[in-house]
């Protein structure tokens, strides 16, 4: 990307100017210095933890007096840090360096377990389909730091539940275990999976009782203190848990992962679960992907490859996209041999509106919220972009208008029976968080006034007056980014009519793997092919810090 392709923000420019004013450079040098700093600031906001430098830029930065090279694991308190050919803003160098240091220390702590194979034989039968899960469990039982990665349906949660039981059996005293995920939706899914899998464990009821079912978000686990970036738990006030499990770890950014590692008490174990091929975090870094390929961590990483849930065309499509085989992927979509994967040949808005009939009818019939929520959650439109043609905003508006024309909803006010919303702003006091989905409907228990109902991670239902709900958006359609951690029986993937930088193979792979039964696509072949061929390339130094 050239400077002409970048849209530097006012903050990028102000930060660069603030630093250049503290140099003794002549005007030409200041201009060159500001260009480098603006680029570093811009790229950090695009998800990169650093930028690459050539020799001339490195020399100029060191001459500024505002940049220092990283040495002996420490750096002086300068705003810019140079490590090899990489330039960091100091805070992000600190996050990356601290994270690598903590993980290296944990990775060097192994555990010798007697009669482990016999215990594994009890938890995992001798069938070939369970061999990789057994090996993943063996790794986690003998390591303080473990990563279990794999695509959808490969049994990551199923495996980790058995690991928890195994570790509880091996412990002299019951382990204090924390289960966490980046978002409320991901936490809810993990909680459902844990509860379902726990009942089938081949162990005593006492062991089962020591396996928690409550899953929290990482921010709640660490004790977020908004609006500050700090948490209640850190190195000085660590978490009490002996073991922390984090699901959907691909969504965890560099800063949050670094703060999590800082907050672990000495001797604690950490297990990360996730799909390294999914979208990286919205914020800086590609932590799970970097750690999964790190040379020094190969004994701490296990990839589950056999899918027990996905098969047929959905699996073939996901694999083709992941391998960037755009022609094969389009052929799978176009053949029509498998009704599970198709290009949509109906009018987009008519089709989406028709999918809302069941849950809207249930609201009119005064059904219970759980049934209504389940019906709504069966189908979801996933868009690549928030604005523009075929975007989240465009489809939400047009679907509302179509439903109003069909007299299925009443648009006379902002809040109407059946309005589905997604929270876009955290409100810890109300236990509502970015990404939570609710449905506005009459409160049948009380006066029939409109309330917004949400299903919590523990399965309970909470209702709020619309005026109390934090900033939210209508969610007949959502971005693919927001869909991470969710599953739907049917996903309708809608791409724009022109190529843009958001479109990548990771975005498509993530969207495809949200669907359990059916995928439909609205896209031009050229746009789809361009997306499959474009791969996210985040500039980081994390994997390099683990080179042997």
Binding site members: 150-157
Nearest CA to 270 among 159, 144, 186?
144
Give strand pairing partners of 333.
none
**455 to 156, 368, 430, 434, 458: CA distances (angstroms):** 24, 12, 13, 14, 8
Beta 80-83 vs 67-69: how paired, if at all?
parallel
C-alpha 437/C-alpha 473 separation (Å) is: 10
Nearest CA to 480 among 448, 463, 503, 461?
503
C-alpha 489/C-alpha 145 separation (Å) is: 34
C-alpha 250/C-alpha 272 separation (Å) is: 9
Nearest CA to 19 among 66, 77, 56, 81?
66
- DSSP letter for each residue of 407-474: TSS-TTSSS-TT-EEEE-S-BGGGTB-TT-EEEEEE-TTTT--EEEEEE-TTS-EEEE-GGGSPSEEE
What sign does the dihedral 499-504-505-509 (CA atoms) show?
negative
- DSSP letter for each residue of 178-234: EEEESSHHHHHHHHHHHHHHHTT-SS-HHHHHTS---EEEHHHHHTB-TTSS-BS-S
Instruction: Give every CB contact of residue 501 below 8 A, 6+ residues apart in sequence.
Output: none
Angle at 161 between CA 222 and CA 306, to 5 degrees: 115
C-alpha 116/C-alpha 118 separation (Å) is: 5
3-state secondary structure 319-367: HHHHCCCHHHHHHHHHHCCCCCEEECCCCHHHHHHHHCHHHHHHHHCCC
**Binding site members for ATP:** 150-157
**400 to 13, 416, 485, 507: CA distances (angstroms):** 40, 11, 26, 26
Are the C-beta atoms of residues 320 and 332 closer than 8 Å to each other?
A: yes
Q: What is the end-to-end Cα distance of the chain in Å, rounded?
A: 31
DSSP, collapsed to helix, strand or coil, labels residue 150 as: strand
3-state secondary structure 252-281: CCHHHHHHHHHHCCCCCEEEEEECCCCCCC
Are the C-beta atoms of residues 250 and 292 closer than 8 Å to each other?
A: no
């Amino acid at each position: 990307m050239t400077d002409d392709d970048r849209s530097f923000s006012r903050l990028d420019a102000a930060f660069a100017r603030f630093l250049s004013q503290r140099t003794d450079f002549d005007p030409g040098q200041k201009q060159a210095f500001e260009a480098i700093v603006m680029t570093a600031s811009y790229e950090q906001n695009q998800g990169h933890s650093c930028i690459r430098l050539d020799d001339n830029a490195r020399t100029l930065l060191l001459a500024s007096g505002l940049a220092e090279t990283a040495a002996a694991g420490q750096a002086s308190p300068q705003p810019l840090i140079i490590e090899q050919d990489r330039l960091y803003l100091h805070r992000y160098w600190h996050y990356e360096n601290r994270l690598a240091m903590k993980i290296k220390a944990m990775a060097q702590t192994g555990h010798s377990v007697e009669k482990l194979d016999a215990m594994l034989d009890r938890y995992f039968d001798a069938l070939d389909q369970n061999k990789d899960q057994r090996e993943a469990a063996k790794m986690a039982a003998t390591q303080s730091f473990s990563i279990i990665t794999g695509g959808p349906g490969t049994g990551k949660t199923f495996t980790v539940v058995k690991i928890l039981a195994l570790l509880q059996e091996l412990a002299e005293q019951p382990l204090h275990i924390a289960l966490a995920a980046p978002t409320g939706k991901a936490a809810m899914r993990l909680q459902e999976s844990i509860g379902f899998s726990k009942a089938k464990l081949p162990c005593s009821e006492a062991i089962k009782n020591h396996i928690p079912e409550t899953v929290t978000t990482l921010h709640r686990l660490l004790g977020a203190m908004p609006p500050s970036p700090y948490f209640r738990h850190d190195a000085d006030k660590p978490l009490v848990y002996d073991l922390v499990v984090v699901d959907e770890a691909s969504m965890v950014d560099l800063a949050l992962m670094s703060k999590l590692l800082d907050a672990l008490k000495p001797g604690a174990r950490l297990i990360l679960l996730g799909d390294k091929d999914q979208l990286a975090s919205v914020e800086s870094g590609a932590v799970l992907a970097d750690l999964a390929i790190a040379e020094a961590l190969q004994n701490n990483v296990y990839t589950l490859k056999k899918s027990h849930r996905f098969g047929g065309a959905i699996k073939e499509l996901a694999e083709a996209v992941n391998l960037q085989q755009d022609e094969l992927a389009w052929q799978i979509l176009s053949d029509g041999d498998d009704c599970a994967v198709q290009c949509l040949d109906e009018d987009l808005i008519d089709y989406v509106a028709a999918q809302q009939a069941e849950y809207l009818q249930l609201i009119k019939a005064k059904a219970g919220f759980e049934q209504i929520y389940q019906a709504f959650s069966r189908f979801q439109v996933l868009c690549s972009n928030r604005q523009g043609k075929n975007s989240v905003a465009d489809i939400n508006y047009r679907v509302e208008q179509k439903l109003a024309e069909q007299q299925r909803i009443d648009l006379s006010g902002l809040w109407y029976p059946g309005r589905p919303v997604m929270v876009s702003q955290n409100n810890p006091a109300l236990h509502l968080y970015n990404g939570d989905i609710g449905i506005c409907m009459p409160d049948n228990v009380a006066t029939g006034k409109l309330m917004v109902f949400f299903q919590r991670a523990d399965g309970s239902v909470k209702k709020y007056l619309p005026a109390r709900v934090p900033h939210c958006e209508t969610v007949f359609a959502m971005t693919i980014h927001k869909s991470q951690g969710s599953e739907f029986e049917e996903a309708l993937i809608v791409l724009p009519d022109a190529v843009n930088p958001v479109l990548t193979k990771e975005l498509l792979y993530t969207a495809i793997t949200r669907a359990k039964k059916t995928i439909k696509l609205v896209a031009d072949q050229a746009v789809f092919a361009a997306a499959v061929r474009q791969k996210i390339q985040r500039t980081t130094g994390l994997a390099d810090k683990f080179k042997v």
